[in-house]
Amino acid sequence: FPDRFRIGKNSSAPEKAEQGLYPQGAIIKKWNELPDDSGNRSIQHFGGDLWGIAEKADYIASLGADAVYITPIHEAPSYHRYDATDYRSVDKALGGMKAFDAMPEALHARGIHVIMDLVLNHVSSRHPFFVDALASPSSRYRSWFLFNDDGSFSSWWGNPRLPELNLENDDVLKEFVTGEESVLRFWADRGVDCFRLDCANDLGVHISRLVTETAKKINPRIRVTGETFHYGVSGLEGPDSIQSYFFTSSILAMLHGDISPRQFGLNVARAYDEAAPHCGLHASWSMLSSHDFPRPMTTLNGDIAKLRLAILLQFTVPGVPMIYYGDEIGMSGGQDPLNRAPMIWDETRHNTHIREWYSKVAGIRKERREFSRGNFLDLSQWLENGVGGFLRTDPDDPRNYSIVFANPTRSRKKFTVYVPAAHMFSDLELVDLLSGARVRSSCGSIHVDLPAMSGAVYVPDFGCKKGYTFSKRL
């Protein structure tokens, strides 16, 4: 969320803090006030900009991230900028186009891709096209929006400041998507690697597919992901991947005890099975919070053990983990605006234990290929003790597999589970990458001793028997 991440040293913000850092304390700080439609001069800006992101490229890389998702950056009346007035601009408060050009350069130099928020469902009520359309029924832009006979118009969630575009109009599609000088091409040509479609469920599969196909004609390496709060897996017929809060909510609901680990496992298994023809779930976002969703430190009531389990699941279920800035240092924050508080750069206020845990599970995910592209088999349906579990297997080499367990209960669990892994041979030892504990397989089963509120990631040690190789002819 650029306005809240960091004020860059190159910034011209009138109230930039010393050394380019945000002032800590107050959640809301007035800066560069802009009047909204009601004349209320209370729109909140903290002064973060794209310079700040570029200057923190090393910090982002240190998290193991290979992509950065940035919410809208265009000229707009609001600080969140989901109400753009000029799609081919970068808001001056964010540093303008000069800052934008510097940001991908800094990120790309470190192997980090740039994901841009693309809002095609609606524009600002101050957008010149809408202002013209509203002023006259004979305006050439009148059909670009959805006006009713009485002069009223369709808007996102009934918000009159967000009039919806008529995406059935070919001229609208040419302007934003398909034209030789479209908004999509403008940003693809400036180094954007991926587009995140805001309100993808409102756009529908057809428009999402059109954006995806058009983007790949411009640059075959470009990816497109679609935002949806609901299950949304069927939407994979349109974009390459989805950003769904269905999985976010499933993880948190299990840790709250609102659903059983069995239901959590079935939720993921169903999504994996349905998405398999498109292979899009591996590229879909696995997340615990965002600018639209409370931070996990808050939703889990500050319970660090639960948070560790949530992060473990986030990094081991199918999908690409997305860390919302500040979660890695234990920032808290409820619903908007509290979840949009500025990043804390004072390291004395960082929770280093959470940061270290993120680094540990990120390292495991990077080391084990099955977590980024592997098959998923739910084991939770066979466990009746409140423990969740699943098997991840590398489809190109089934010798690479991991067995993940999560015990969200307040009691230690000792149990035997049969695991249908082709290469889990009898007397093969498996080691837990989290604790170092070892178990020995027997006839396709392992006996697990799992402390309360803990997890495990067991992987095979094919060299555990000296003088004998389990996998000599695999």
Contacts of 58 (CB under 8 A, 6+ apart): 110
Query: What are the backbone angles phi and psi of residue 373, rounded to the nearest 5°?
Result: -145, 5
Query: Does residue 220 have a cis peptide bond before it, meaning omega lies within 30 degrees of 0?
Result: no
Query: CA 71 to CA 116: how far, in whole Å?
Result: 7
Q: In this structure, are residues 203 and 166 in contact, taking their beta carbons and an 8 Å threshold?
A: no
**How many Cα atoms sit within 13 Å of 351 on the Cβ side?**
16
CA angle (315, 340, 327) in 5-degree steps: 25
DSSP-derived letter for residue 170 is H
Q: Which helix (H) or strand (E) holds 461?
A: strand 454-461
Q: Which helix (H) or strand (E) holds 269?
A: helix 261-275
Of 380, 378, 379, 385, the C-alpha closest to 449 is 385
Q: Which helix (H) or strand (E) holds 404?
A: strand 401-407
- Catalogue the active-site residues: 198, 227
